[in-house]
A and B are shown apart, each in its own frame.
Chain A
Amino acid sequence: VTPSEGARGGTGRQLEMESVLALRGLVLLRDSVEWEGRSLLKALIKKAALGGEQVHILGCEVSEEEFRAGFDSSINSRLVYYDLFRDPLNWAQTGEALPGGPLGALQAMCKRTDPGPVTVALDSLSWLLLRLPCAALCQALCAMSRQHACRGGGPAAEQLCVLGLLHRELHGPGPTGALSSLAQTEVTLGGTAGQASAHILCRRPRQRPTLKTLWFSVLPDLSLDLQGGPPLESQPHPDPHTPQVDPASHLTFNLHLSKREREAKDSLTLPFQFSSEKQQALLRPGPSPATSRIFYEPDAFDDLDPEDPDGDLDV
């Protein structure tokens, strides 16, 4: 591979990533216990922030400190964080909790976005889905895009991106299906042999759904590194330098035939093979006597009865 080809491959992949990750509308990041999705969520947030978008984050599952770790200070200052981790259900009664509980916090987020490109990150949609009725959550998500469209010029489809982290194993087919029907893009995380993959299903209006697979890793500085393809299978290749061993060399019995033995074997006619020689031999009576005779000497104890030859059998 010449260096120029490698570079072309790199930019080609970069362009591919740009087109695939031009995410708008509701994007579901479906992760699992083995392949977590929060680092990809943070990588997409970083990309949006570097692109000049406003970024609003509703943090439910991890502390704000833990979520902000990994972003550098310039990006951290652009992130607007709503903390639902410390006291989501207002048990502490300190008055610091976000009013209205989880649903109130979600609705409040909708109201506070300024016109222009916005990325909203929900960490996580699963947390909200377990505590809010599915219908209310879906309505709040729809309202978010509607309100954003009302506020500023341009259709919401181009302006608003909602990244929702969803843990696959937690929800039944009903709620998952409802969210899928609302989503423009579904990213399903998986992987093999230590390499993460993302299966991206895009549904654009008036276009056929497209399915693409990206192999990626998230670097410690939260940038996305795309790999070309799945990791090569680590097969045990036979070492070309080891001499081929003849398995029939050290046996206690002889598997080889000498030349004479081989010739004798090849010239042998099988008993049930009907060759033309055999046919002729059968048709022409041979010179040997046709009748054969049986010689029988009865024992002294045999009692032969010519009329009933089986009479001596004790049956």
Chain B
Amino acid sequence: MFPELNNLLNTTPDRAEQGKLTLLCDANTDGSFLVHHFLSFYLKANCKVCFVALIQSFSHYNIVGQKLGVSLTVARECGQLVFLEGLKSSVDVFFRAQAEPHPLQFLREANAENLQPLYEFVREALKPVDDGEAAWRCPVLLVDDLSVLLSLGMGAVAVLDFIHYCRATVCWERKGNIVALVHDSGDTEDEENNILLNGLSHQSHLILRAEGLPTGFCRDVHGQLRILWRTPSQPTTQRDRSLTYQYKIQDKSVSFFAKGMSPAVL
């Protein structure tokens, strides 16, 4: 996790809030550093994490995780991390008997209408352990990313339904958190992606939006991060807060600074 980002979000692993949906979004840049941040953050916060990783392999996240101080292998072995490796298990779908349910079953079906098998997988993975003593703090679902489900043929409403059920189970029933990444292609013609992005934005408590600089690529400033805190159903005396920072990604950390205050320029 990146300590500077924790400061901006005013949170630490010990004081992580519960029952929240965090939406990560990137436009014209790669926002996966946010995924790595939250993965290591929640592992350090002693939460049980279900990671639906559809984009990269396990070893990729493991290597980055080690730079950030967590070992995914150890977490998986001791049961803290349930890892669905999309790239590997998608092949398994085709070599299984059709009757057996598989979380990525929709890849095999011609008219997959919903993502219920994937939801059942998440529900099972984050089931509270009946040990009498809670081993982990709270369940967390992390998805990298949701836009690829649209590319794989699911409709935006099916993905929204999947997140709806995950929210009902993980956020409301089990007081856990959900973090999901959605790409913003900026293409107004991509209606499905816009419906997914806007639909999730309305349900989120926190939106982190990584954008490329409008002026183009820069060696010292990799992009801009917009943070929007929302309260979807409670009135607040102060309207939803929004902050903007610029950032530079380094080997083991990300440094944040106010706009125009990059150390390279000062």
Partner-B contacts on A (CB < 8 A): 33-36, 38-39, 42-43, 61-63, 65-67, 69-70, 85-89, 91, 126, 130-131, 167, 169-170, 172, 191, 194-196, 217-220, 222
B263 shortest CB reach to chain A, Å: 29
For residue A171, which residue of chain B has the nearest CB? B195
Q: What are the residues of chain B within 8 A of A85 when measuring CB–CB?
A: 164, 168, 172
Given the interface pairs A34-B240, A167-B202, the reply to whether A91 lies near B165 with Cβ below 8 Å is yes
For residue B197, which residue of chain A has the nearest CB? A169
Q: What are the residues of chain A within 8 A of B161 when measuring CB–CB?
A: 88-89
Are the C-beta atoms of B160 and A130 separated by less than 8 Å?
yes
17 more contacts with CB within 8 A, not counting A70-B234, A85-B168, are A33-B201, A34-B240, A35-B239, A36-B231, A38-B232, A39-B235, A67-B233, A70-B235, A85-B172, A89-B161, A130-B157, A167-B199, A170-B199, A170-B202, A191-B239, A219-B235, A220-B235
Which among A35, A39, A86, A195 is the interface contact of B233 at CB below 8 angstroms? A39
Q: How far is the CA of A38 from the CA of B165 in the complex (A)?
A: 20
B13 shortest CB reach to chain A, Å: 25
Q: What are the residues of chain B within 8 A of A65 when measuring CB–CB?
A: 172
Given the interface pairs A36-B230, A191-B239, the reply to whether A131 lies near B195 with Cβ below 8 Å is no
Are the C-beta atoms of A36 and B232 separated by less than 8 Å?
yes
Q: What are the residues of chain A within 8 A of B116 when measuring CB–CB?
A: 91
Are the C-beta atoms of A66 and B160 separated by less than 8 Å?
no
Which among A86, A194, A222 is the interface contact of B239 at CB below 8 angstroms? A194
Give 7 A-B contacts (CB < 8 Å), ordered by A residue.
A34-B242, A66-B172, A70-B235, A172-B191, A194-B238, A195-B239, A196-B239
Interface string of B104-126 (1 = CB under 8 A from A): 00000000001010010000000
Are the C-beta atoms of A38 and B199 separated by less than 8 Å?
no
B7 at the interface (CB under 8 A from A): no
Partner-A contacts on B (CB < 8 A): 114, 116, 119, 157, 160-161, 164-165, 168, 172, 191, 194-195, 198-199, 201-203, 207, 228, 230-235, 237-240, 242
Q: How far is the CA of A310 from the CA of B121 in the complex (A)?
A: 102
For residue A65, which residue of chain B has the nearest CB? B172
Q: What are the residues of chain B within 8 A of A61 when measuring CB–CB?
A: 202-203, 232
Interface centre among A65, A191, A194 (most CB of B within 10 A): A194
Q: How far is the CA of A120 from the CA of B114 in the complex (A)?
A: 30
For residue A40, which residue of chain B has the nearest CB? B235
Are the C-beta atoms of A66 and B202 separated by less than 8 Å?
no
For residue A69, which residue of chain B has the nearest CB? B234
Q: How far is the CA of A38 from the CA of B231 in the complex (A)?
A: 10
Which among A43, A67, A170, A217 is the interface contact of B195 at CB below 8 angstroms? A170
B266 shortest CB reach to chain A, Å: 25
- A-B residue pairs, 7 tightest by C-beta: A218-B235, A39-B235, A169-B198, A33-B201, A194-B239, A63-B172, A38-B233
Given the interface pairs A63-B172, A196-B239, the reply to whether A167 lies near B198 with Cβ below 8 Å is yes
Are the C-beta atoms of A39 and B165 separated by less than 8 Å?
no
Q: How far is the CA of A170 from the CA of B192 in the complex (A)?
A: 10
A264 shortest CB reach to chain B, Å: 51
